[in-house]
Amino acid sequence: MKLSVRHRLRTGLRRSVIRNWVVAYRFRGVTAQDVLLATYPKSGATWLTFMLSELIWGVGEQQDIMDLRFIPTVGNQRLGVNRLPSGGWLLRTHERYRPCCKKAIYVVRDGRDVAVSLYFQIKRALGMDADFSEFLEYFLAGHFVGAGPWGRHVDEWLDSPCFQNGSGLLVRYEDMQLDARRELERCAEFLDIEATPERVESAIAAGSFDSMRKTEKRSEALVHNEKGPKISFVRKGVVGDWQNHFSAQDLERFNAAARPAMERLGYDLDEVVAPA
């Protein structure tokens, strides 16, 4: 796997104590009124961000793929333009649970599809030339993602007080695919937002795959400044793409590492892998 020295240094740094300090510093401004939109990378955060920004604030076409104005990432509140009606910020994060997070929407996706999606993202962003099986080793060990392995991320968020005391809402990528309306209404109720049928419709339209693809094209310079081949950020957007990339051996390795989190989330582990 050919990776640049810069990338190796960045990976090293991610794992270091310094990273913890930086993350703690970013989280210092999170208050009990704020709501976290927490996800492991590649779980559909941008899609839900698009829909919620339209649902809550009716932002229309102003929104870019990498937009931090409507739902800023933790530590970037200064870039935010709108707070929730309840007074706090809605803040995105990929980080592990931290005790300052008192209320959270946690978005999950089948870990196998997360791995495939991240594979293409790392290829695009860093020019990684590993094949999928090689990449999977790194994925399962939690390389490439500052927050570490997928299963631990899931467990920590679901075990957090947010999910023990009714201040957590679990949203599945697959459920957004099945019935985005229902998932948006659940979010609206959780956030205490009025969701008129018109607003819900326009939120679904704002987050449609085609519409987000167009938005990505508009903000091309912002999204595509990477080292690798040009692969869309809004790439495929399907459930079960892992079947096109996992070998039987990959599936075995994945299950050995991530079975508890997969079972906890109700994902079916016994599906047959399509021939490679």
Q: Which residues bind ligand A3P (CB under 6 A)?
A: 39, 41-47, 113, 117, 120, 207-209, 212, 234-237, 241
User: In the complex, what is the shortest distance from the CB of residue 254 to ligand A3P, in angstroms, rounded to a whole number?
Assistant: 16
For ligand A3P, the closer of residues 46 and 53 by Cβ is 46
* Complex with ligand A3P: residue 95 or 113, whichever CB lies closer: 113
Q: Which is nearer to ligand A3P, 57 or 173 (CB)?
A: 173
A 10 A CB-CB count for 174 gives: 17
Distance from C-alpha of 87 to C-alpha of 260, rounded to nearest angstrom: 37
Q: What is the Cα–Cα distance from 211 to 23, expressed in whole angstroms?
A: 33
Of the pair 151, 207, the CB lying nearest ligand A3P is at 207
**Cβ of residue 121: shortest distance to ligand A3P, in angstroms?**
7
Contacts for 25-28: CB closer than 8 Å, 24+ residues apart: 25/75, 26/74, 26/75, 27/74, 27/75, 27/95, 27/98, 27/100
- Least spacing, CB of residue 32 vs ligand A3P, in Å: 26
Based on CB atoms, which residue is closest to ligand A3P, 24 or 70? 70
Nearest CA to 62 among 176, 204, 215?
A: 215
At its nearest, how many Å lie between ligand A3P and the CB of residue 222? 14
Q: Which residue is nearest to ligand A3P (CB)?
A: 237
Q: Which two tokens stand for residue 206?
A: 């704002």
Neighbours of 206 (CB within 10 A): 22
**Smallest separation (angstroms) from ligand A3P to the CB of 94:** 8
